[in-house]
Amino acid sequence: MSLRMLNCAMLFCVSFSFLSFSTSAENVDLSHQIQPLAQSSLILDIASLNESAIAVGERGHILIKKKLWQQVKSPVHSQLTKVYFIDDLLGWAVGHDATILHTQDGGLTWAVQLQSFELEKPFFDVFFFDDSHGVAVGAYGMFYRTQNGGETWHEEFHQELLFEEDVEYLEQLKVEDHELYLSERAALLPHFNRFYPLSDGRFLLVGELGLVAFSDDLGRTFQQTSFSYEGSIFNVIEYAQQVYVMGLRGNVFKTNASLHDWQSVKMPIESTLNGAIVEKGNLFLVGNAGAVVKISPSQAVELVVQKQGENIVAINKGPLGQIWLAGTKGLSSIELQ
């Protein structure tokens, strides 16, 4: 096993300690899945539609909000980490056990498109370019693509994101022991945490070990940026003609459209930052230790809220303009100024 592989494994355990692996069995009984306290359990993402919002989290929980948050039936018990809608009807949710779910009715009902308990890897993000073509990314470089709306998903291996020494290591293994080659290849890439569409048509992929790479061909190939930080990056957002990335221990960096000359943005906290939203002309970042940080157009940085005893994983706007937080204590609303 290479040093790169060991580093990846160690960082994964540290960075996603609150995203514990699912222990589902294939033939689980879902008859008692609807839980009265699901809204207060671990919620990891929120998607906003025109007239509703969808949230996903632990034990396969899926909630939909119109007037109130209400849990809907899910076909899985695997922890769900991300949800994405391309319009008000078509959406996908991904999570542990290499799970991909699909809805065609705005989140009211869901069906399994992909799941592998043997793989034991989580997806962390999903994105669709149109109603047919999409990608899902996750742990140890997991990258799947569909061209038919998710009826079939095909794995891709992005060797261009390996360190040079790992490329040489794999080439040697491929000749000497093909079975070991396949096993090692499945764990050498860093975790892919976010696949983000930039306003200029490119896509940014961020992840473990300071991974920040861009693609100008819909994620078929990637080029590393000149990014020197070696910690974990969890999210991306564009604001005021700048690209911001955020990650472990309050580390935030920004650059312009060139994606070069990354500059550190000093934060008032050292908590991991997980999510972001632009609201009322300001950029808001949310993270562990209940942190909500505001960055103004003048680049002033301020800690505006700190909700003790919880980690905030995601933030989004609901159908009535309410701002919702998701995290270890479930869903809660917040007013941002």
Which pair of structure tokens corresponds to residue 162? 């390996």
Q: What is the tens place of the pLDDT at every residue in 203-251?
A: 999 999 999 999 999 999 999 999 999 999 999 999 999 999 999 999 9
Domain count, the chain: 1
What pLDDT shows up at residue 113?
98
Does residue 294 fall inside a structural domain?
A: yes
Helix/strand/coil for 38: helix
CATH code at 316? 2.120.10.30
| Any domain includes 269 | yes
Q: 225 in a domain, yes or no?
A: no
Which string of b and e fits 185-205 if b means at least 16 CB within 10 Å?
bbbbbbbbbbbbebeeebbbb
Q: Give whole-number Cα distances, 280 to 1, 246, 300, in Å.
A: 49, 21, 15
267, part of any domain: yes
Residue 185 is classified by DSSP as H
Long-range contacts of 241-245 (CB under 8 A, 24+ apart): 243/198, 243/204, 244/276, 244/283, 244/295, 245/204, 245/206, 245/212
Domain that holds residue 297: 238-337
Q: HSE of 286 in the Cβ direction (CA atoms, 13 Å)?
A: 27
Confirm whether 296 is domain-assigned: yes
- Residue 30 in any domain: the answer is no
Within a domain: 291: yes
Instruction: Find where tokens 């047919």 sit.
Output: 132
Given this model, what pLDDT does residue 83 score?
98
Does the model's pTM come out above 0.75? yes
pLDDT in tens, 58-99: 999 999 999 899 999 999 999 999 999 999 999 999 999 999
> Which mean pLDDT values do the consecutive 10-residue runs of the chain (337 residues) have?
42 39 42 68 97 97 94 97 98 98 98 94 98 98 98 97 89 88 88 98 97 98 95 98 97 96 97 97 98 97 95 94 96 93
Query: Does residue 23 sit within a domain?
Result: no
d(CA 54, CA 154): 26
